[in-house]
Structure 1
Amino acid sequence: MLTLKLKVGESLLLGDDVRVFIKEDLGGGQVRVSISAPRSVNVERIGKLRTDELQCALGVSQ
């Protein structure tokens, strides 16, 4: 699993066509993000998961 520390105004590029923008620091460990992706890409909010569930969802082997 990759862990990154980003600032407001920075973004991540996932693959060739999915970009995640850090829009606003809401404080308390929360940020507002925007996601730009083709309609063919399914984007879901997962919420809090146990580490093993998250790794499985991301396809990361332990």
Structure 2
Amino acid sequence: RVAAVVGGEPVHLLETLAQRVADACLGEPLVDSVEVTVHKPGAPMPVTFADVAVTVVRDRG
């Protein structure tokens, strides 16, 4: 499922991709919570960074 999300419809924001991956994981009946970190090394930013990352923590609660 995760590979299908990552390889599926392109997104512009790391946050969107992280949320979609979290949703896919929470779609599995045995998963109660998930922490997803998405990295984008060399992201096009006005300031140079080695890496940009977003972490999403979700649960069924």
On whether the aligned pair clears a TM of 0.5, the verdict is: no
TM-score band w.r.t. shorter chain? under 0.3
TM-score, with structure 2 as normaliser: 0.26
Which structure has more relative contact order (CA 8 Å, sep 6+)? It is: 2
Structure having the larger proportion of residues in helix = 2
TM-score, with structure 1 as normaliser: 0.26
Structure having the larger proportion of residues in strand = 1
